[in-house]
Chain A
């Protein structure tokens, strides 16, 4: 596998401009001769599909949902970062870049992160022009709030529904292009295979989820914006249909998978309540602007929170990290919550929760003001738990939320398979070992609105305009493979349901490849996963047929891929014998239980190559830092 990141020369601030100028262009009259497939109905996919169509390309957009307005970006609550410095509080493009690369614990590329930071401002301009109703001050200017890992206010927001509003903005842009005949929408379609001809991505095989029919789609380039793989844990804040399948099928066709072990565990989620729970719900990080995190000072203190006096409360984040306090980055907040609970100071029925308390903010600003800021989150919390955060502290606990790992891409967002691109959470590019809050929306939209539309021309200009022939034997073979997998799943006719297997896989991953990892646990997982996978293929029960709407079959296909992918995650976590960002190897900690990074030996991106018969092969893309000094992250 050849990995060339194609980072442009020149000073950091000029790389992107220089790169755009040096890239080949496709003239406007020729753009209509190119077909581009965009898989995914979230922010990255829709912004890319709409923008490529505006440029004049023919676009086919695929999504699992019944409409392209429902991708899981829609659930992002808190906001989107940009370096506008509207608050005049010392922000700049360089500071957003620095915060992001530091937040990622120096495991991302300088050039990519700087570009993201440069583009951030244009995203806000674009969204406002589309009619996204961001929060505003009385004077009519845009309002900002703070997020973890930053000491400036640079987060733009639309109540607690920022992702929804941004996605509907992109959806509107996409609908406009559908009306103009430049985009064709294929909803309720699942990508089952990538088609590679002469080493180039040339199309996909999809399953029509209503009829079960397999369909061939050819194109000059294929763009995967298919999200993250958090659902490998079964319980996560992801939507139920979020999956790794598209990325995994591309990986099996030769695309490198980068840093699969990097998984963000979000600190503020509603705790697990019972065995039938199907998903976990996030409470936005923005709550930490006004909420104070605490546990009882005494171990196993069972008193209700109101009866615990101030002197017997441990505001452990404020105590340990005085300069960032409750706004430390997510990995630090999560790890500390786990540490408190492991010491027996956790609260609630299960002891696996800490308090997030708004009483001081309510005293300071009044209940009405706090309600205005967080009303919809408080309502959601009350619907799920029957508790009112205005009267008693919330209970929160960390949960799997976002995956920094993804398909390896170069500076152009192209994978190592020519013509195959990956955007948004599906790639690995910008967040290193830990993503800062309000940066996922920023990255998805930077990739889709601005980066891909500027870089894809360079590839297409040399790709030829001949229509792709879907009768080619590579399409035939890929379709047969997809049909074979479906038949195999339906043919097992075992006794255990798909969810049953998925839950067990999730437990293995949470116990051994979750918030804290060690060699012993990871090696155990490497034994347990293949055993479970073998049982899955002997004993899974998938009812119904392949020629109809069959939701069990859909889930079975995704879980089958998770069963393979989980092993790669564990391999990656095992190979990285350092702690960095979200990846805590218990063997590599400071005395204060902070992550101990090892730059001498692990300052690289791990890129895995699939091997049909053997364990995956590790390649390394070294990271070099010329503009920032990789320091030990300190939020004290």
Chain B
């Protein structure tokens, strides 16, 4: 069993090492492949992070540009997706901070859930994206909870990241990540029950 684990870890390391080498060379073919591979996961994360499809698409492009520019900083010890989400998060937080003086972290202090929607009355991107009733309900419930909780829930349950990977992406301690998941779930479940009733 240990051999199997070692084989798996070695396999992952050789793949991440290959990615790191390609990024240092700024290999456009590798970047094309990575964009193809992570397109849906990255966009989904950004849509939930920003609650705005248009902004998420802008951040999607900016994230890949940053990956190209800072590729030499990628450490192959970590999963590429963790690094990618971390870049996307930093860019989004920076953008939102410039736009208005609030960060995702600042929103944690709020008692009520606050979404990052721009102040207009159009239906949110999540509402437009939702294809069926259940998805609509969940999207609406997600938009209604605090951004920090939403992010933790999406990274854990939708993207399947481990707790320490979420901590690396968000830059928060492991205990905070656990607490965000618990609080997020507690905030989300009553909203869904209310919607289903």
Q: Is B one of A's binding partners?
A: no
